[in-house]
């Protein structure tokens, strides 16, 4: 199976962010990640950030938000 | 009357029907589960709580007026968030802060070829070592340091769990553009959260761009 460059690997992984890209291309990118520490590190970093953001990024609604919204709708 | 999408919650379908008939109580109950997502969408654009509260609530009122135009071609929540993002962008244009952050740079130039030329320390961020509140604050500061087009994608996809298709619809760009921006956003977040040379963790400072010429 042919090898791919780091740039190609990155392009495939970008398109595959939903896991729905071409299967053969995904395999190629996966094989590249096994041998390229740099690309593997970058890929792992993006996955790590995605997990952190999903778990830790949240905003509390300001106090009274729901009531203010309800009143505004009622007053329309 | 439009045919609701089969994927919609039947309770939501009924609330929508009543809201279209002018039932404000039903409309409020329809919107209520999405208060936090729309506020978060406004926050990621405006980065100001007072503005985000005002804009997100105005977006809801605009949605009520626009109910006759909602044809059910997407989820109600997606439509609501789209209105919120548009209203937030309009607010940003009006604000003085808008002078320093152009929102006109939302063109789909991101689809051109791009590869990270440099990267910071890629060690795993030790989230276990950060208290939850500290982590949340660090993430917010890091998010605020990102360009608008990356903040929007990151929040909609990774926090609010919209699909790529829904995110593309909300932001008015292609799916390919969303995918490219998402990975770049994640990498810039990672760079903004990198450790200091003495091992302590910092986040969100713009100086990172000088230390690591990573951004475009």
- Asked if A14 is an interface residue toward chain B (Cβ–Cβ < 8 A), one would say yes
Shared domain for B114 and B202, answered yes or no, is yes
Cβ-based contacts under 8 A for chains A and B: 121
Shared domain for B91 and B175, answered yes or no, is no
Contact residues on chain A for B27, CB-CB shorter than 8 A: 73
Q: What percentage of chain A's residues is helix, strand, coil (to nearest 5)? A: 70, 0, 30
Q: Which residue among B73, B98, B123 closes a domain?
A: B98
Q: Mutate one of B190, B193, B201, B203 to test the A interface: name it (highest A CB count within 10 A).
A: B190
pLDDT digits (tens, 9 = 90+) for B150-183: 999 999 999 999 999 999 999 999 999 999 999 9
Instruction: State the average pLDDT for chain A.
Output: 89
Q: Which residue has the higher pLDDT, B120 or A51?
A: A51
Residue A1 lies in a domain: no
**In this model, does residue B123 exceed pLDDT 70?**
no
Output the pLDDT for position B145.
93
Residue A13 lies in a domain: yes
Residue B144's nearest CA partner among B198, B204, B73 is: B204
Q: Which domain CATH number covers B23?
A: 1.10.1740.10
The rounded Cα A33 to chain-centroid distance in angstroms is 17
pLDDT digits (tens, 9 = 90+) for B53-95: 999 999 999 999 999 999 888 899 999 999 999 999 999 998 8
Residue A69: domain span = 6-75
Those residues of chain A that have pLDDT short of 70 are 1
Residue B153's nearest CA partner among A65, A50, A43 is: A50
Residue B151: domain span = 109-211
Residue A5 to residue A2: CA distance in whole angstroms:
10
Output the pLDDT for position A21.
82
Residue B66 lies in a domain: yes
Number of domains in chain A: 1
Shared domain for B94 and B155, answered yes or no, is no
Could you tell me the pTM of the whole model? 0.81
């Amino acid at each position: 199976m042919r090898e791919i460059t780091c740039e190609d690997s990155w392009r495939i992984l970008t398109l595959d962010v939903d896991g729905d890209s071409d299967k053969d291309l995904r395999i190629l990118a996966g094989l590249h990640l096994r041998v390229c520490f740099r690309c593997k590190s970058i890929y792992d970093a993006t996955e790590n950030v995605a997990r952190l953001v999903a778990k830790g990024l949240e905003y509390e609604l300001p106090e009274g938000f729901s009531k203010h919204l309800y009143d505004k709708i009622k007053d329309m | 009357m439009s045919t609701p999408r089969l994927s919609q919650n039947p309770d939501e379908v009924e609330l929508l029907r009543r809201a279209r008939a002018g039932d404000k109580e039903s409309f409020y109950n329809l919107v209520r589960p999405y208060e936090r997502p729309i506020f978060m969408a406004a926050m990621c654009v405006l980065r100001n709580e007072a503005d985000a509260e005002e804009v997100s609530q105005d977006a809801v009122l605009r949605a009520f007026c626009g109910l006759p135009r909602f044809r059910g071609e997407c989820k109600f929540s997606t439509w609501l968030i789209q209105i919120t993002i548009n209203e937030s962008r309009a607010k940003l244009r009006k604000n003085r802060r808008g002078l320093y952050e152009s929102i006109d740079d939302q063109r789909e130039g991101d689809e051109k070829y791009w590869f990270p030329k440099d990267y910071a320390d890629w060690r795993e961020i030790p989230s276990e070592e950060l208290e939850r509140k500290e982590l949340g604050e660090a993430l917010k500061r890091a998010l605020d340091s990102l360009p608008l087009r990356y903040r929007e994608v990151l929040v909609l996809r990774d926090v609010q769990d919209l699909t790529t298709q829904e995110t593309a619809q909300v932001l008015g760009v292609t799916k390919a553009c969303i995918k490219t921006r998402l990975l770049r956003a994640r990498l810039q977040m990672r760079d903004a959260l990198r450790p200091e040379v003495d091992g302590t963790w910092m986040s969100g400072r713009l100086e990172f761009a000088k230390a690591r010429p990573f951004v475009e």
